[in-house]
Structure 1
Amino acid sequence: MADERQHPMLQYIINNPEAFAQNLAKTMENAGKALAAYLEPRESGEVRDGTDELTNVVKTLAQVSEYWASDPQRAVEAQTRLWSGYIDLWNSSLKRMMGEPSEPAVNPPKTDKRFTDPDWSENQFFDFVKQLYLITSSWAETMVHEAHGLDDHTRHKAGFYVEQISNALSPSNFLLTNPELLRLTMESNGENLVKGMQHLVEDIRAGHGDVRIRQTDPSKFAVGQNLATTPGKVIAENDVCQVLQYEPTTDQALKRPLLIVPPWINKFYILDLNAEKSFIRWAVDQGHTVFVISWVNPDARQAEKSFEHYMKEGILNTLDVIKRATRQEEVNAIGYCVGGTLLAVTLAYMAATGDKRIGSCTFFTTQVDFTHAGDLKVFVDEEQIEMLERRMAEQGYLDGSKMASAFNMLRSNDLIWSYVVNNYLKGKEPFPFDLLYWNSDSTRMPAANHSFYLRNCYLENRLAKGEMVIDNVTLDLKKVTIPIYNLATREDHIAPARSVFVGSSCFGGPVDYVLSGSGHIAGVVNPPHKNKYQYWTNGAPVGQIEDWIANAEEHPGSWWPHWDAWIREKDATLVKARKPGAYRMKILGDAPGSYVMERI
C-alpha cells in the first residue's frame, strides 16, 4: 500500500503480461466476430446503411463553419479564443509540474458523472486530458451559439449535433484516456475487454446488424410475471388496441370509470411496472374502475392506420366498451405523452360533434402546443420527414428502435455512453432495472399515424393553431370546456414543462397546472409511499412559467393523492364496485393481454 501511494503509476502497469497477451488475443478474436455480425446482414441485404442522417449533420455543421470562415477576422477571433484556452491550460499544467499551486483552467459541472474518479483531478495526465476536452467542447458549442444569421431551427440542430459529437468523443469513453478503465484493465489482465467484446457481439446479433445496447438485464423481467401484474381482464380488442379492465379491490367505486390512454411509442405497463410502483394498482385501490388501452405493436397491416383510426378505433371505441361494461356514460380520462395528444385531439373532436362522454381529463406530460417542444424538434423538418416517410413506405411502419435511439440521444451521456463504458469496456452486466427494461420495450409505429403526428404537431403545430382536421372536422381546443388537470415534470426532455404550460392556454375550460419534480417518467411514476421528489401548485397557468413557479406552493412527495382529491371534487358519487365480465361482457383473456407481449 505504501509503495502504491508513493508510486501511483504502478496501478497502470500490467500485472501478468502472459495473461494479458492471452486476453488481448481473445479480445481481438471477439472483435472479429463483432465485425462479422455487423457485416453479415449488410452483405445479405437485410440491412441497408443510409447516409441521409450523416449528410444532414454535415450540411448543418457546414453552415456554422461557413459563417466563421466567410470573414477572416471572425475566423482569427475563433481560433484565438480556442488557443487562448489551450495556453491557459498549458500554463496551469506547467505550474503544477513545478510543484506550484495552480487552479484548473476549467472544471466540469458538479452534475457531470463522467469525471468522478479521483485520478481525473489528482493525476496530472488525466487532468490535462479532461481539461483539454472540456475547453474544446465548450469552444465548439460557443461557435454554434454565436453563429449569427442561422435560422433558429438550424442553430438548434447544429447545437444538438455538436453536443452528440462532444459526448461521443469524451475521454471517459476510451480505454487509454480513462483512469478507471485503465486500472481495471491492468488489474484484470484484460479480462474486462474479453467480456466486453463478447457483450458487443451479442448486442450486434440482437440488433440484427445494429448495436442494441443493453441498459438492463432482460432475463430478470417478464411481462405478466413480475411486470404488469395488476389483476384484470381483456374485454375487447380490434386492429389497433386491446381494452383492459382491472379487478376491483374495494367494495365501492367512484361512479365515473377511469380511462387511461397511454402512449404507443412504448408499452402501457409504465403505469403498472410492479405492485409498489403501479399507478394502475394504486388507482384501483382508491376506488377507481380502471380501463386501459393497450396499443397493438403494428406491422405492415396497420400501415394506413392514422390518428383518425387511433381516435375512433382506440379512444372512441373504448368509451363504447366502457359504457357496455359499466352502464355508465360519463368517464374520467387520462392521457400520457403522445397518448395525451391523441386524447386532446379526441376531446376537440367530441366537442365539435356534441359527444360529452368524458367529464374530466388529466394529461401526464402532454403537449398540444409544440412551439417549445425541446430537442425532439431537431429531428423534424421537411427534409427529414420526407426521408423518414420514404423509409416507412418500404415497410409500412417505423421500427421502434429508431424512435428509441432518438429518445436516448436526448440524454446520450446517461442512456448511451455510460452503458457503452459499462458493458463493452468494463465488461460488466447492466444492473437489473424494471424502468430500463420497459424503456427498451419499444413498439413500431404505423406509417400514416407517425407521418400525421410529425407534420401536424411538430412541424406545423396545427392543433394549437386550430387548423388540424380529423374526419373532415376542424378541431378547436377552445371548445373543450371540461376541467383539466395538466401535469408537467420539471426536468422533462420530451415534453418540457414550458411547452405543457403554454399548451394549457389552448383549452377553453378550467385548467389546473401541476408541476412535478424529476423527469418524464420518474416525475409521473412516483408512488406516495416512496416519499420522493415534490410537486408545485399555483392554480391556473397564466402569464410566464417563471412567474408561476416563483409563486407556486411546494408540496413534498407524490402528486397522486392531490390528483385523486381533484377527481373527487368533480364527482365523488360512489356505486357498487364493478368486476370485469359484468353485463355479459365477454372475457377475452387475462391482463396484461397479448398485444403487450409482442416485442420488436
Structure 2
Amino acid sequence: MTNSQNEFWSRAGEEFQQNLAKSWGQAMQTFQTMDLGGIVPPAQDAAPQLTFSQEKLKELQAAYLEEATALWNHGLESKHEIKDRRFSSEAWTANPMAAFTAGSYLLNAKTLMGLADAVEADEHTQNKIKFAVEQWVAASAPSNFLAFNAEAQKKAIDTQGESLAKGIQNLLHDMQQGHVSMTDESKFVVGENVATTEGAVVFENEYFQLIEYKPLTAKIYEKPFLLLPPCINKFYILDLQPNNSFIRYAVSQGHRTFVVSWRNPDESMAQKSWDDYIENAAIKAISQVQHITGAKQINALGFCVGGTILSNALAVLASRGEKPVASATFLTTLIDFTDTGILDVFIDENFVKFREMQMGQGGLLKGQDLASTFSFLRPNDLVWNYVVGNYLKGESPPPFDLLYWNSDSTNLPGPFYAWYLRNTYLENKFISPGAVTVCGEQIDLGKLDMPVYIYGSREDHIVPIGGAYASTQHLPGKKRFVMGASGHIAGVINPPTANKRSHWLREDGKFPASADQWVAGAKELPGSWWTDWSDWLRKHAGKQIAAPKHYGKDAKFKVIEAAPGRYVKARA
C-alpha cells in the first residue's frame, strides 16, 4: 500500500476504536435504564475500554482493501459464484447488482468478525463481543429483507404476489403461536406419530410420570434401566420414531426400561427448587423403579441436564450411605462447568443476580425464552433461515419430527433455574467436595464409584466435547468415554441401522487431562456408538430372567394411563 493509503487506514482504525468504545458505553447505559418491570438490575461494570491488536488490524485493513478492490472491479460480471447458501441461487448469482450486494455484505461481515477477534480482552469479554457481533451480522444480511432479497423478489414476480400473501399469512400464524415455525407442527401428535413405543405410566407425582415400557424380548436382564432426560425438554427426543428411538433400542436389547417424563411446570410449581427436583423426582424415580422391580440396584442414564440431576441425586444418596445404582451413563452432560462453550457469553454475576431477583423466590422461566436462546446460538440456521423462508418466500416448512420436538418447549421453575445458574455455570461448585449442599447433604462426586459410561458429541455447541470429557476427571469409578460425530442431538440420536457417522474410542484405559489429549490417542470407528454402549451396559445388567407379563407391580403400581402419558402433552 502507498503511504497515503497507510495513513488513511491508520486514521480509520483509530476512529473505529474510538467510536466502538463510545457505542459500547452508550449501549450499556441504555441497557441500564431500560424498563425491567419494576426490577432494578444490579449495577453494571463500567463500559470496557476496548483496544485492538495493531498487527491484526493492519492485516484486516490490507485484506479488506484488496478484496473490496477485486469486488468492485468484478462487480458487473454477468455471473458470480457465491458459496454462502443464502446467496447461492441463480436469482442472486446471475444478477450483477444482487451479487455485488451479497459480496459486499459477506466482505463486511468477515471484516467485522475479524475486528471482534482483534479485540484485546479477557476470553469472557472477547467471546461476548464475538457473539454480539455475530448476532448483528446475521440479522443484517441482505437476504433478510425483501428490498434486497433477489430470490424472494423473483418468486413474488413469478407467483404474481402469491408468495408475499402466503408470507403474511405465515407471519400472522407465527405471531399467534408465539414463535417462528421450523416445521409443520400440524402434522405431529404426541403418542400417535411421535413417542409411540408401547408402555404405560405406572407412577406419578407433581414432578414427573414414570413410564414403563413393554418388553420386546422373552427374557430381560434382572437390573432394570432408568432414563432421566433433560427437564428443559420433552423426553420423546429419545423416542421420535421406531427406527431412531433410543428407548425402543434399549428395550430391544433386553432391558426392563423406565423413563422419567417431566411435568411441564405451571404456576403451581413456581416455587419449586433444585432440591425439590433431586429429592422428589430423581431420587423418587430411582426408588420407585426399585420397588416395582424388586431390584436392589438399577442402571441409570442421564441426558444433558438430566445427567447433571442424576449426578447430584447419586451424590446425595451416597452421602446417606445408599448406592442403588449399579452403573451410570452420562450423555452430553456437564458436571464440571469449566468449559461451557458459547453459553458462557450469557453468564456473569450481574446476569445471575438479575435472574435471582426476578424469579429466585418464585416464578417461571418460560419455555419459549429458553428455546429462543438456544436458537440464537446458531442464528443463520435456526432463526433467519426460517424468517426468510416463511415470510419473504411464503414457504411452509416441511414436516420434521426433530424440529417439532425442538419447538415443543418446556417451562422451568424460577428458583430451580436461578440456583442452577449460580451453582453450576457461574461458580462451578459441583467439582469441589463439600462446596454445595443439596437436600441437606454435601455434594462429593468422589463418592460416585460405580462404573460410568460418558458420551460427548464432537461438534456439540451446548455441551462442548471438553465439558463432557471433564467428567472423567472427577468420577473415580471404572470409566469408558466415547466421542460421537455431529452435535448435541444428532450425535446422540444415531441408531445403528442408519449406518451413519462415526465414533471414537480409546482402549488403553487412559484419561489424560484434556479432551484434545484423549482424542490424540483415540481410534475412529464407523457407525453408531449405541452398540458399544449396549455391550458395556450388558456387563452391568446382571443375569437374564423371564420378562414380566404385566406393567408395574400389584395395586400400588397399577397402570395409570398408556404411554406417553399426559404430562408430555402439556404445552408451555
Q: TM-score interval w.r.t. the shorter chain?
A: 0.7 to 0.9
C-alpha distance in 1 between matches for 2:404 and 2:140? 27
The 3 A distance-change label for structure 1 pair 62 and 413 is farther
Q: Tell me, what secondary structure is at the counterpart of 1:264?
A: coil
C-alpha distance in 1 between matches for 2:92 and 2:384? 18
Larger deviation: 515-524 or 565-574?
A: 565-574
Q: Tell me, what secondary structure is at the counterpart of 1:543?
A: coil
Q: CA deviation at 1:472?
A: 2.7
Q: CA deviation at 1:50?
A: 5.6
Q: Tell me, what secondary structure is at the counterpart of 1:348?
A: helix
Does residue 563 of structure 1 match 2:541?
Answer: no
* Post-superposition CA distance 1:325-363 (Å, at most 9, x none): 111121110000000001111122222221111000001
The 3 A distance-change label for structure 1 pair 181 and 347 is same
Q: Which residue of 2 aligns with 1:369?
A: 336
Q: Which residue of 2 aligns with 1:486?
A: 454
Does residue 386 of structure 1 match 2:353?
Answer: yes
Q: Which residue of 1 aligns with 2:561?
A: 589
Does residue 172 of structure 1 match 2:139?
Answer: no
Q: Which residue of 2 aligns with 1:271?
A: 238
Equivalent AA in structure 1 for residue 499 of structure 2: N
Does residue 316 of structure 1 match 2:283?
Answer: yes
> 1:447-596 residue pairs with structure 2 within 5 A?
447-466=414-433, 467-539=435-507, 540-578=510-548, 579-584=550-555, 585-596=557-568
Equivalent AA in structure 2 for residue 499 of structure 1: G
Equivalent AA in structure 1 for residue 50 of structure 2: Y
Q: Which residue of 2 aligns with 1:407?
A: 374
Q: Which residue of 2 aligns with 1:197?
A: 168
Consecutive unaligned residues of structure 1, counting only runs of 5 or more, are 1-48
Q: Which residue of 1 aligns with 2:323?
A: 356
> 1:223-238 residue pairs with structure 2 within 5 A?
223-238=190-205
C-alpha distance in 1 between matches for 2:264 and 2:86? 36
Q: Tell me, what secondary structure is at the counterpart of 2:217?
A: coil
CA contact (8 A) 2:185 2:404 kept: yes
- 1:95 aligns with one of 73, 84, 87: 73
Q: Which residue of 2 aligns with 1:140?
A: 112
Q: Tell me, what secondary structure is at the counterpart of 1:462?
A: coil
Does residue 67 of structure 1 match 2:50?
Answer: yes
Larger deviation: 470-479 or 174-183?
A: 174-183
Task: Give the length in aligned residue pairs.
Answer: 530
* Post-superposition CA distance 1:167-218 (Å, at most 9, x none): 11112222233332222122122221111112111111222xxxx1010111
> 1:283-298 residue pairs with structure 2 within 5 A?
283-298=250-265
Q: CA deviation at 1:99?
A: 7.0
Q: Which residue of 2 aligns with 1:249?
A: 216
C-alpha distance in 2 between matches for 1:93 and 1:158? 28
C-alpha distance in 1 between matches for 2:95 and 2:343? 39
C-alpha distance in 1 between matches for 2:77 and 2:124? 49
Q: Tell me, what secondary structure is at the counterpart of 2:287?
A: helix
Identity of aligned residues (%): 39
CA contact (8 A) 1:60 1:154 kept: no
The 3 A distance-change label for structure 1 pair 61 and 434 is farther
> 1:407-446 residue pairs with structure 2 within 5 A?
407-446=374-413
Larger deviation: 166-175 or 358-367?
A: 166-175
Q: Tell me, what secondary structure is at the counterpart of 1:136?
A: helix
Q: Which residue of 2 aligns with 1:130?
A: 102
The 3 A distance-change label for structure 1 pair 195 and 368 is same
The 3 A distance-change label for structure 1 pair 266 and 61 is farther
* Post-superposition CA distance 1:389-422 (Å, at most 9, x none): 3443697110000100011011111110100011
Q: CA deviation at 1:67?
A: 2.0
CA contact (8 A) 1:300 1:395 kept: no
The 3 A distance-change label for structure 1 pair 123 and 99 is closer
* Post-superposition CA distance 1:467-499 (Å, at most 9, x none): 221123221111211111001011101101111
Taking only aligned residues, the RMSD between alpha carbons, in angstroms, comes to 2.6
CA contact (8 A) 1:262 1:336 kept: yes
Q: CA deviation at 1:139?
A: 2.3
C-alpha distance in 2 between matches for 1:179 and 1:390? 47
CA contact (8 A) 1:89 1:128 kept: no
Q: Which residue of 2 aligns with 1:333?
A: 300
The 3 A distance-change label for structure 1 pair 132 and 479 is same
Q: TM-score, normalised by structure 1?
A: 0.83
C-alpha distance in 2 between matches for 1:521 and 1:193? 34
Q: Tell me, what secondary structure is at the counterpart of 2:558?
A: coil
CA contact (8 A) 1:93 1:128 kept: yes
Q: Which residue of 2 aligns with 1:7?
A: none
CA contact (8 A) 1:195 1:427 kept: yes
The 3 A distance-change label for structure 1 pair 60 and 153 is farther
Higher helix share: 1
CA contact (8 A) 1:240 1:313 kept: yes
* Post-superposition CA distance 1:70-90 (Å, at most 9, x none): x9x97x995x77765554344
CA contact (8 A) 2:199 2:563 kept: yes
Consecutive unaligned residues of structure 2, counting only runs of 5 or more, are 1-33
Q: Tell me, what secondary structure is at the counterpart of 1:570?
A: coil
C-alpha distance in 2 between matches for 1:309 and 1:330? 23
The 3 A distance-change label for structure 1 pair 93 and 279 is closer
Equivalent AA in structure 1 for residue 570 of structure 2: E
